[in-house]
Amino acid sequence: MEYSPILHSLHVVPSSHVKNKLLVFLIMLSLWVYMIYCCVAYCSTVPDLAYGSASRRDKDAAGDKREPSLGASRDLLNNENDLDSRGDEWDDTRAEAKAPGDNAMSAFLNESESRKLPQAIIIGVKKGGTRALLEFLRLHPDIRAVGAEPHFFDRNYDKGLEWYRELMPKSSEGQLTMEKTPSYYVTKEVPARIHTMSKDTKLIVVVRDPVTRAISDYTQTRSKKPDIPSFESLTFKNISAGLIDTTWSAVQIGMYAKHLERWLQFFPMEQLLFVSGEHLISDPAGEMARVQDFLGLRKVVTERHFHFNPAKGFPCLKRPEGNSKPHCLGKTKGRTHPNIDPEVVQRLRDFYKPFNSQFYHMTGHDFGWD
Ligand SMILES: Nc1ncnc2c1ncn2[C@@H]1O[C@H](COP(=O)(O)OS(=O)(=O)O)[C@@H](OP(=O)(O)O)[C@H]1O
């Protein structure tokens, strides 16, 4: 038969047209199948998890940042207005450390997480280095800690344990929940209250030379209230008689042995760990080894996590892997202290000597302040 283009087109065009239609139909079908699959199987779970984790994250963040309503006190001025007390330093380091895809996984794991009352608390002392210690500890995967200071046992006790528990971040079974509120160490009612929550609570106290601590405390107050009297005049009840004012909190907090006596009425010494604020700066890894040991944790936070910043005079945190910039605590840590009359400093040293000796004796550790 002779070739006829007309016949050919009559024969071919309809068939390619059908093929095209078939192709479009198949594509549409697979799209529909995919969409149905998404809606029924995938979409019904993933957005839930994603939403769940997002809302949980928001809630956790809110929990971390939620400021408990606080009664008016001098500490309120000293601490709660201190942005560093809200505790978000180095959070970005931890966020960066998450691998992509971790969100879905952590959302899944979150399902088995719950908020728990803290099993360990950093109870003091104010200006001892408590923020640095908490942030060092937050690097540990087995620790979940609330960033802000809850002040539950001193200022918010009437709100009840459920209120307190709600402030805590979610944690899984093997993780320890922690918080830090430095005023606990010196507040009379706190040892009994923590004991009532759990007699097994582990207690950590960061202590520092009481004279430097007092000056640091004063420096913080003055940064908010520049018109306060001089350190020298606040130190003495009667300046000519050289009588130290032990009712001034900056002086009183440093009488560590006196406060420790109260704690020992409720807790055995083995349940308390005293961290040297000075060592936390000069040998953070060494001090962290003691803390992790005390908490029964694997030694995860080591020298690889620290980088000493000579300009700041403090160790800052770095991720062991990678070469990102180390993260340091904010400006409210390491404020320049005013020069204090050396005679007043010496008077304070003499005043603290017997308290320090008693403290060394009680803890079995010479902190070397004298
Ligand atoms: N790594 C690191 N970075 C910065 N600062 C450090 C660090 N380690 C310890 N410190 C010392 O911590 C002091 C503040 O103590 P706290 O965090 O306990 O203060 S607060 O009570 O929470 O306000 C703060 O006291 P000042 O220097 O007087 O500001 C620091 O000396």
Distances (CA, A) of 365 to 123, 277, 285, 336: 19, 13, 19, 29
Average pLDDT over residues 266-279: 98
Q: How far apart, in whole angstroms, are the C-alpha atoms of residue 266 and residue 272? A: 11
What is the distance in A from the centroid of ligand 1 to the CA of 143? Answer: 21
Alpha-carbon distance 157 to 305, whole Å?
36
Q: Specify if 58 maps to a domain.
A: no
Contact (CB, 8 A) for 284 and 328: no
Cβ count within 10 A of residue 75: 21
The residue range of the domain holding 246 is: 66-363
Q: Per-residue pLDDT tens for 177-189? A: 999 999 999 999 9
Question: Of ligand 1's atoms, which has the minimum distance to the CA of residue 315?
Answer: 1
Residue 230 resides in a domain: yes
pLDDT at site 350: 97
Q: Does 18 fall in a domain?
A: no
Residue 72, pLDDT above cutoff 50? no
Distance CA 302, CA 306 (A): 8
According to the model, what pLDDT value does residue 18 have? 62
CATH number at residue 212: 3.40.50.300
Of the CA atoms within 13 Å of residue 314, those in its CB half-sphere come to: 20
The answer as to whether 157 is a domain residue is yes
Strands 306-309 and 314-317, how do they pair? Answer: antiparallel
* pLDDT for res 242: 84
Q: Supply 346's token pair.
A: 């010496």
Range with the poorest average pLDDT among 71-80, 131-140, 323-332, 350-359: 71-80
pLDDT at 90 over 80: no
Q: Region 244-251: what's the mean pLDDT?
A: 98
Cα–Cα distance for residue pair 278/211, rounded to 1 Å:
13
Is there a binding annotation on residue 208? Answer: yes
* Count of domains observed in the chain: 1
> Which residue, 250, 79, 74, is CA-closest to 151?
79
Helices 342-363 & 210-224 angle (0-180, nearest 10): 120
Give ligand 1 pocket residues (Cβ under 6 A): 79, 82, 85, 126-132, 182, 216, 280-281, 314-315, 329, 333-335
Higher pLDDT, 155 or 51: 155
Span of 9-13, 162-166, 359-363 with lowest mean pLDDT? 9-13
CA distance 317 to 214: 27
Confidence tier at 109 by pLDDT (50, 70, 90): low
Residue 314 CA, ligand 1 centroid: distance in Å:
9
Share of the chain above pLDDT 70, in %: 72
Q: Is 143 a domain residue?
A: yes
Between helices 130-137 and 284-294, what is the axis angle to 10°? Answer: 70
Residue 337 lies in a domain: yes
166 domain residue, yes or no: yes
Query: Atom 26, ligand 1: which residue's CA is nearest?
Result: 334
The backbone torsions φ and ψ at residue 297, rounded to the nearest 5 degrees and listed phi first, read -105, 155
| Confidence label for 64 from pLDDT (cuts 50, 70 and 90) | very low
Residues belonging to the active site:
127
Match 């694997």 to its residue by tokens: 298
Residue 55 has pLDDT above 60, yes or no: no
ipTM: 0.99
Ligand 1 centre distance from Cα of residue 335 (Å): 9
Q: Token pair for residue 142?
A: 């087995």
In a domain, 27, yes or no: no
Per-residue pLDDT of 1-32, as tens digits, reads: 334 443 344 344 445 666 777 776 676 776 66
Residues 191-233 have pLDDT tens digits of 999 999 999 999 999 999 999 999 999 999 999 999 999 999 9
pLDDT at 102: 42
